[in-house]
Amino acid sequence: MIKKWVITGAMAFGLLVSAPVSGFAAMGDHTLRPGTWDNDVYELQGKLKAMGYFDFAVTTGYYGTVTKDAVIKYQKAKGLLVDGIAGQQTFNSIQNNIQRKGMTVAATAYTANCEGCSGTTSSGTNLKEIPYAKVIAVDPDVIPMGSVVYVPGYGYAVAADTGGGINGNEIDVYMQNYSDAINWGRKNVNITIIN
State how far the Cα of 194 lies from the Cα of 184, in Å rounded to an integer.
23
pTM over 0.75: yes
The segments of the chain whose pLDDT lies below 70 read 1-27
pLDDT confidence of residue 22: 35
Q: Domains, the chain, ranges and CATH?
A: 24-97 (1.10.101.10), 99-194 (2.40.40.10)
pLDDT confidence of residue 26: 55
Burial label for 177, CB within 10 Å (0-12, 13-18, 19+), is middle
Of the candidates 11, 18, 10, 5, which has an alpha carbon nearest to the alpha carbon of residue 153? 18
Of the candidates 60, 57, 90, 59, which has an alpha carbon nearest to the alpha carbon of residue 73? 90
Mean pLDDT of the chain: 84
Amino acid at 112: A
Question: Which H helix or E strand runs over 149?
Answer: strand 148-151
pLDDT confidence of residue 9: 31
Decide the pairing of beta strands 100-111 and 170-174: parallel
* Per-residue pLDDT tens over the stretch 100-120: 999 999 999 988 877 777 788
State how far the Cα of 69 lies from the Cα of 55, in Å rounded to an integer.
10
pLDDT confidence of residue 20: 35
State how far the Cα of 67 lies from the Cα of 135, in Å rounded to an integer.
17
pLDDT confidence of residue 121: 83
